[in-house]
Structure 1
Amino acid sequence: MGDIVGAFICSISDRDWETTLTKGIYGNRTGNIRGGFYKDFDPKTKYSIIRDLVGMKVEDVVFFHILGRDKPSSVHGIYSIRGDPFYDESRIWGDDFEVFPYRFLFSPHPKYRYLCDYDANIEVTDFYELIENRRIWSLATLENEVNMEARSVRRIGEDEANEIIRLLHRDYRQRRRQERVRFDLVQLPIDVIPLYNAIGDIGRYENSIKAFLMYKLAQGDPYLLNVFGGVTDFMNEVFIAQTTRKTIDILCINRVEGMSTYVICEVKTGKCDTKGLSQVLYYMDLFKQKDLVDINSDIIAGCLIGRAFDEHVIEYSRERNRQGVNGSLILLKYQPSVNGRKATFSQVAS
């Protein structure tokens, strides 16, 4: 499916799926219930939700991971995003505490309308088989794990999306509704707030600058595309390998004429020191071990992003790049602006 620009998997409870499906609107929460009381998420978590959504744009594709209460979970698709993410507190779902205001609109994908009309899906066990067989390589699980950041929206690669589509077609006759879905799509309210306007505190929280980067990449920011040497796909919080729970902050991919360049970005709120340098070099070495990487032709580069850089980091990067080692290092400095709602970028000579 060569027309995919971005692809996502969004988790949702089976309780809310019917409303979400027929109205073509997905929402993420602002808090959860603790000790019998509803509590808003802290800023770090709030910006992680925004970070995972602002990389979306119109005509990206989305699958849904339906969390079953009394039955196994499943993966449904394939739908097309029909509006940029936004913030809106109008009540859509019948939840007593939550209005799920971090939202986007979607509709049946025009090329795969027949799958959507009958709510085609696959068992989640088949999805995990794709992970085991390394056909899904950016994720290790769809579940929220202890000591790992809870996430409901995950960006995946085009090749991974194609694998899910293949299984949806394979199981179409067995895993679909008997009656056609009655879509009654809601329209975008007039007075909504674009979600990128909810980004704030850049320079204070790591997820804030990550969110801004994801938004700028989705918008095809010319400066960032030039720094990274072109970007045909990008994703965030990418598992380096199934055997480790370490994740890449942002991965930029450029596929041209059978060759791929992968830029592994490590983001720091403040100064990038030698510890951050060691981290990105370690991630580069681990990433080379992935099955999708052709070590004979593909390029694995690293990028440190921060407000300042240790002199040892700058000196090492200059020497490495001067020697022409396969896998250059990019040092990208950011400066918060507009009261922490935006940032400017400049490449440090290395």
Structure 2
Amino acid sequence: MNGPAIHAVSLLQFAPFLAKRDIDVLAFFSRRGFSPNVFQRHDDWLPRDFCFGLANALVEETGDPFAGALLGDQIPVLRFGEFGERLARTETVLTCCTTTIRNLGLVHRGSRMTARIERGRYIMRYELEGALADAPWQFLLATMAVLHNIVLLAGEPDRVKVRLSLPRSRHTAALEATFGGNLEFGCDHDEIEIRQDLLDKPMELLTRPSRTDQALETTIHTALRVARRLPSGEVGIDGTAADLGLTRRTLQRRLADCGVLFSDLIDITRRDIAMRRLLEGCDNLKALSADLGYSDPSHFTRTFRRWTGMAPSDYRAPVLSEAF
């Protein structure tokens, strides 16, 4: 994808955040034009402005004006795919910071980070490049919270300062819960500042997976297994759990932590396969319904109407093939 973009690994972090607040994860993504089969598209790149809109939608869904900061604060740093893996191999605060700066492009395209030393302080600056079609505040807050947590792995929270370009208001004091009291508003740039003498301090990376880590990893692997196996036969939760080395109950719990049921993954996989096959010109509905595990074509037709509001034979609108 050309132009500013965000790797889908960042958006996957929305799932446990929304699930903990009893918000329907798949419906949230679907309402905003992102395929509900988000867990099978974890390697995609999405337009940055689209991601800004998703981050801003968190305010509407949660009622919290700083939902982006809360989201970023709860994201396990090491869960960002290859970016997180590279951070895990760093040994000092300095190498962790420089690794973050050099590898930002693995998760954000159209953003940049720079660093400088000024009066005994090491300062990292985060900037969005190019024109912005949507307000980026929630996205910026989430990103700054993640960067703040990276620096906090040094174990010195009182020696870290956060500068935000966000103007101060009567509500912004609530952000101290995320960033601590060493926080400035209305700055020219968004920056993280630490004392220079911290740079040689060993990082206190937590390599043991958290519950959120395990939930996301399991949900992604489950979604991919369903996508691979559904066209060739029945996919059951017990067999899938056994393939993953888990009990049925553990698999169900981890999926629930991401706001989905096993039946949801089956349903959205069938939906994606059906839409793709129809757009490719498939006109044998009996064969298609059988491939998707429906013994009765009329059952498939009713389900397809639930997905799209139309019969399979009427599904030809090109715009529907543009869903992310």
When the two structures are superposed, what TM-score results if normalisation uses the length of structure 2?
0.29
Q: Report which of the two has the higher share of strand.
A: 1
- Structure with greater Cα Rg: 2
Larger helix proportion, structure 1 or 2?
A: 2
By relative contact order (CA 8 Å, sep 6+), the higher-ranking structure is: 2
